[in-house]
């Protein structure tokens, strides 16, 4: 039997955004990716290529640049439906109701499928969790697809599509970063959370162990981040990049490393890792942005020491203030204890 996938259109129809002064010069696809966290960059590029995106009323292309004051519109229903393959991957759930889901993502897991990775992502796990009864009832052949079983396109007797739940992912974490994410389970929650992220009403805090000893107890890192084509890593501090700010507070100092709490004031790609490396104190275990010249423990952690440990926001339906905390994963906690045992008196 041929395996099938969830067929669904994006949650909202017509989305409109206005570019601010800090957005000026950004590529259109990057501008949209920062505001449509539930969609992959590849998906956004396809939508723009279909001609469903306009800037100030004129159809535009992904590579065009936005200017301050530009009105950007994109019609998410004009494209062919997306496909999602549900997979029975365990989720660490901190909270769930009919509106939202708060989960802790493990290190090594992608949030969205990519061109080369089609399974094992958080989106695959969420698609299964939100539709588990329908997946189980479909009894599809696990071996029929390299991506595993999925869901049939469900229709009513009248031929209309029935309600298949699609995870509304409104923010992301790097593959190597672990920690908390809030997911919308219905369109209104998705719209409210997206707006709150844009207005910086959602509080996010990360724990990171940085190479070297930081003298100041706190620091505001302000350095523009942009993409440099054909130079890896592509994202870095560059003149003319988009404004980016990170607040750093020292929690504990060791012989050759510093435990800090990081607050991303802005949300640029790889911002925390780039900013820490830029000030000369890269995140331990960072194989992309760390310089070999940086001092640190001789035996580094087995993974990137960056964990989204605290997430706080207003509930999109009730307005109640909610706060969630996720302890350090065991591998990071054990490494931190090793640093404490070797700390100079």
Active centre residues (catalytic): 174
- Class of residue 126 by CB neighbours under 10 A (exposed 0-12, middle 13-18, buried 19+): buried
Q: What is the 3-state secondary structure (H, E, C) of 91-144?
A: CEEEEECCCEEEEEECCCCCCCCCCCCCCCCHHHHHHHHHCHHHHHHHCCCHHH
Report which of 152, 275, 290 is spatially closest to residue 211, judged by C-alpha positions. 290
Judged by phi (left if over 0) then psi (alpha if -120 to 50, else beta), residue 287 lies in alpha
Q: Which residues pair with 209 in a beta bridge?
A: 259
- The Cα-based distances of 98 to 105, 193, 258, 321, 336 in angstroms read 20, 15, 40, 17, 37
Question: Between the CA of residue 296 and those of 204, 282, 301, what are the distances in Å?
Answer: 26, 9, 11
Beta bridge partners of 14: 75
- Helix (H) / strand (E) containing 206: strand 203-211
CA distance 5 to 338: 46
Q: What is the DSSP code (8-state) at residue 23?
A: G
β-pair type (178-184, 306-314): parallel
Q: Taking a C-beta distance cutoff of 8 angstroms, is the pair 203, 311 a contact?
A: yes
107: its two tokens: 């290190």
């Amino acid at each position: 039997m041929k395996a099938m996938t969830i067929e669904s259109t994006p949650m909202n129809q017509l989305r409109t955004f206005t570019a601010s002064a800090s957005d000026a010069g950004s590529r259109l696809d990057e501008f949209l990716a920062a505001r449509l966290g539930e969609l992959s960059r590849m998906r956004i590029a396809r939508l723009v290529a279909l001609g469903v995106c306009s800037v100030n009323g004129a159809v535009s292309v992904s590579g065009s640049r936005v200017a301050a004051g530009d009105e950007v519109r994109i019609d998410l229903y004009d494209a062919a439906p997306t496909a999602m393959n549900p997979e029975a991957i365990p989720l660490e759930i901190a909270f769930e109701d009919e509106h939202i889901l708060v989960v802790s993502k493990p290190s090594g897991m992608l949030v969205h499928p990519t061109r080369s990775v089609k399974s094992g992502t958080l989106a695959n796990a969420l698609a299964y969790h939100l539709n588990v009864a329908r997946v189980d009832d479909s009894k599809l052949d696990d071996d029929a697809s390299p991506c595993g079983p999925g869901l049939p396109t469900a229709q009513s007797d009248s031929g209309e599509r029935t309600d298949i739940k699609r995870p509304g992912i409104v923010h992301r974490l790097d593959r190597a970063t672990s920690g908390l994410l809030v997911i919308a389970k219905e369109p209104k929650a998705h719209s409210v959370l997206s707006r709150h992220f844009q207005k910086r009403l959602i509080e996010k805090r990360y724990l990171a162990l940085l190479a070297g000893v930081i003298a100041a107890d706190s620091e505001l890192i302000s350095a523009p981040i942009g993409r440099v084509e054909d130079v890896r890593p592509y994202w870095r501090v560059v003149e003319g990049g988009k404004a980016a700010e990170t607040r750093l507070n020292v929690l504990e100092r060791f012989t050759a490393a510093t435990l800090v709490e990081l607050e991303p004031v802005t949300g640029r790609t790889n911002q925390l890792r780039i900013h820490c490396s830029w000030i000369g104190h890269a995140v331990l275990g960072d194989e992309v942005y760390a310089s070999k010249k940086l001092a640190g423990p001789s035996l580094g952690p087995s993974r990137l020491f960056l964990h989204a440990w605290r997430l706080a926001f207003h509930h999109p339906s009730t307005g109640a203030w909610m706060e969630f905390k996720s302890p350090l994963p065991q591998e990071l906690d054990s490494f931190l204890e090793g640093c404490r045992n070797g700390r100079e008196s």
